[in-house]
Amino acid sequence: MNRRWTIVILLVTVMLGFSLMARAQQTIKIGVINSQEILEKSAEGKKAIAQLEEKNRKIQQDLAKLDDQIRQLESRLSTQQLTMTQEAILSLSADLDRKRTERQRMAEDAQRDMQELTQRLYMRIQSEVMPIINKLGQEKGLDLILDLREAGVLYFSPAVDLTQEVIKRYDASKAPAK
């Protein structure tokens, strides 16, 4: 009786081992996307980049105006210092300090605003693209989709790159209905 149980347990163990080996040999299907390329080549991504560039251009113009005002005050102080009263020098120096502080604050505020806008635009695009990526993964029967930009992928076969398909579908989802 004891020998019989040993054989049954051995058979069950062997069958379980074969079952686990068969499962381990199933291939995992992987796809990759390039989120940077989606951002740069999709219609919505191009709009977001253009919006950021326009805001940055305006900020740079505003900072350049302040820089000009600061240079004018510095020039005036250095060229007219000998002919000015002590009170006028102090007043001009105070104006110069205020402009420098204003410029520094404006630059800091602008940087913070740009970071917030960038994050908001990118998060919106990501939230709109994720359902497309999920659906594409399901349609292709993929187990895993990696982002080339975020995952540190060192090699991939172009056959698993879904980026162009995601861009196409994303642009189609944003196209006006006919």
Which tens digit of pLDDT belongs to each residue from 10-57? Answer: 666 666 655 555 555 567 778 888 888 999 999 999 999 999 999 999
pLDDT score of 154 more than 60: no
In a domain? residue 60: yes
In a domain? residue 1: no
In a domain? residue 17: no
Determine the Cα–Cα distance for residues 126 and 130; give it in Å rounded to an integer. Answer: 6
pTM: 0.70
Nearest C-alpha neighbor of 170 from the set 136, 121, 144: 136
In a domain? residue 142: yes
Q: 110 near 59, Cβ under 8 Å?
A: yes
Nearest C-alpha neighbor of 103 from the set 62, 134, 155, 141: 62
H helices then E strands: how many in the chain?
A: 6, 2
Q: What are phi and psi of 35, to 5 degrees?
A: -65, -30
What is the residue range of 53's domain?
Answer: 23-174
In a domain? residue 10: no
Determine the Cα–Cα distance for residues 3 and 11; give it in Å rounded to an integer. Answer: 12
Give the pLDDT score at 27: 75
Determine the Cα–Cα distance for residues 12 and 32; give it in Å rounded to an integer. Answer: 40
Give the pLDDT score at 148: 80
In a domain? residue 168: yes
pLDDT score of 105 more than 90: yes
Number of domains in the chain: 1
